[in-house]
Amino acid sequence: MKNSLSIILFLLLMSGSESTGQKGIAVTVNQLVVVANNPGAIISKDIYGHFSEHLGACIYGGIWVGKESKIPNTYGIRNDVLFALRELKVPNLRWPGGCFADTYHWKDGIGPQSKRASIVNTYWGGVTEDNSFGTHEFMKLTELLGCDAYINGNVGSGTVREMAEWVEYLTSGSDSPMTRLRKENGRDEPWKVRLFAVGNENWGCGGNMTAEFYGNVMRQFSTNLNNYSGNQLYRVACGPNGSDVQWTETLMKDPGTRAMFQGISLHYYSVVNGWDSKGSATKFDEREWFETFRLNLEIDNIIKSHEAVMNRYDPDKTKGLIVDEWGNWFSVEPGTNPGFLFQQNTMRDAITAAINLNIFNQHADRVKGANIAQIVNVLQSVILTENDKMVLTPTYHVFRMFNVHQNARLLKTDLRCEDYTFAGKTIPSISASASVDNNGKVHISLANLNPGKQITVSCPVIGEEYKTVTGEILSASTMNAFNSFDKTDVVKPAGFSGFTMKDGILTVNLPSKSVVVIELSK
C-alpha cells in the first residue's frame, strides 16, 4: 500500500511545476522529486577520477619533489598533497597524459634515476625532464592513495611491442624478460592495473588519425595487451572530441572493433571565450559566469548524443563511456609560462564541478568513469602548490563533498526549476542528483547557478521516511572568490541548516552561487 501511495503522489507531483497564487497568477515552484525506494544504476566511483599529466608543475613540484627535497615527502611524493588527496577518496588516477602520453617511452623512466634518459616536453613548455618520476614512482603514488592506476599507452609515436611489454612489466608474475627487468628495478610482485587507454586524442595530438585508421590501429595494439596473473585490463579506446558522433559510430558499428575495448573515452572542455581568447580565471563578469555554465550544461547533450549511438550497437550497455578529460579551460595566470596551463580556481569552478558531477551521476548506466583535468597546478585543479605551500581549491571541496555518491545507487529524480536568464539566454537555475548508499543513507547534491538570488527548492522524498537531516554548503560572497597562498580559506565548506523536513517534504533554501549536499538517514 505504501508503494502504491508513493506512486500516486509521484505522478501528482510530476503533473506540473507551477502553482496558482491568490490572484490566479502562475508562480514557479522549484521542485526536485526524489524517489528513494527504487534505486537504479550504481554510480561508479571512477566518475570521480583525476588526471595527472607531465605538464607544467603537475608532476614535478606538484606531486613529486624527490626523496632529497626539504619539503616533507614519502618516497619523493609530497606529504601535504598526498594527505589532501586521500581525503578526496581518489578512485583512479590517469597518467602520463594527455598529449604527453603519445611522446612518452616508458623504458626511459625506469631503473636507477641517475641513468634515466632525459626528454624534452615538446607539447608543454619545451622543458627538459629527467624522468625521475616514472612507472615505479607512479605506481607507488597510487598505492599510497589507495586508488587504481589508469595508464595511458603511447599509440602516436610508440610501437605495439613497446605497449605490450609495458603491460607485461606492470602485471606479469611469470618468469620473462620483462618481469626479470621489473625485479631488477626493485619490484618483485606484479602490480594490478585495471584501466589502460589505447592512445590519447588520436584524432589530434595522438597522430591526427581518421576514425577508420585509428580503429584498425587500436585493434592491432589491443590484441597484444594481455591479461597476466589474474589481472584484467579494462581497455579504453580513444573516443571522440566533444560532439563528434561519427567517430563513436565508426568504433561501435563494427563488431570486431567493438570487441577490442571495454570503454570509449570522451574529451570536453568549457572554453568560455573561444580558444584564441579564453578569458581570465578570476577577472570575469556575469556574462562569462553565465556562459561558462551554459557550456558546462552542454556536456549533458553531448553524452546523450554518444549514448544514442552506443545504445544502437550495445543495448545491454556493456561498453562504458569514459569522460577522461573535462573541466574549465581559461587563460594562464599573468606572469606564468603559457605552456604550463596554470590557472586559479574560483566559486565558478566549484559550481562547474557540481554541474558536471551531477550530470555524470545521472548517466551512471553508461558513464563509467571520468577524470577532471587536472589534479595539481594545471587547468581546473583541485590543489595548487608553490614551493612548500599548498592550497585547496573550491573544486577540491566539491569533490570531497560529493564523494558520498561513489558506488552508491542512483535515485530517480525529477527537477522542475525556474530559469536563470542573462542577455536573452536561459539555462536551468538548479543542478541536482541523488543517490542511496549501502547503509541506506540518501545524499542529494544541489547547486544554485544564479549568482544573485536565493532559491527555495521543495524536495518531496517518495517511498521512504527519514528522521535525520544534515547538510554541508560551499559558497562565497563574490562570484570570483578564490583561495590563494596568502588566504587559503576564503572559499571553504561549512555546516548547512537552511532546510526543513515535514511530512516527507524536504525544503531547502539555496543561497545564491552555492553548492549544497544534504544527507537523509532513518
Name the E strands within 274-317.
none
Of 129, 165, 291, 325, which residue is the catalytic one? 325
DSSP for 450-479 reads: -TT--EEEEEEEES----EEEEEEEE-SST
Query: By the 8 A CB rule, do 370 and 49 touch?
Result: yes
For residue 157, give Cα distances in angstroms to 99, 208, 216.
11, 12, 16
Q: CB within 8 A of 105, min separation 6: which ones?
A: 154, 157, 158, 162
Residue among 53, 165, 201, 464 flagged as catalytic: 201
Pull the grid cell for residue 28: 514557479
The total of other beta-carbon atoms located within 10 Å of residue 17's CB is 17
Crossing angle, helix 245-253 and helix 286-313, to 10 degrees?
20
Element (H, E) at 27: strand 26-28
Element of type H or E holding 422: strand 419-422
- Closest by CA to 199, choosing from 246, 254, 252, 264, is 264
Exposed e or buried b per residue across 273-299, where buried means at least 16 C-beta atoms within 10 angstroms of its C-beta: beeeebbbbbebeeebbbbbbbbbbbb
Active site residue 137: no
Active site residue 325: yes
CA 96 to chain centre: 16
Q: Do the bridges between strand 425-428 and strand 468-475 make them parallel or antiparallel, or are there none, so unpaired?
A: unpaired
Comparing CA positions, the residue from 327, 310, 312, 316 lying closest to residue 370 is 327
- What angle (nearest 5°) sits at the alpha carbon of residue 19, between those of residues 13 and 22? 150
Rg (CA), the chain: 23
* Main-chain dihedrals φ then ψ at residue 111, nearest 5 degrees: 85, -175
CA 64/CA 75 separation, integer angstroms: 9
In this structure, which amino acid lies at residue 456?
Answer: T
Would you please indicate which residues are annotated as catalytic (active-site) residues? 201, 325
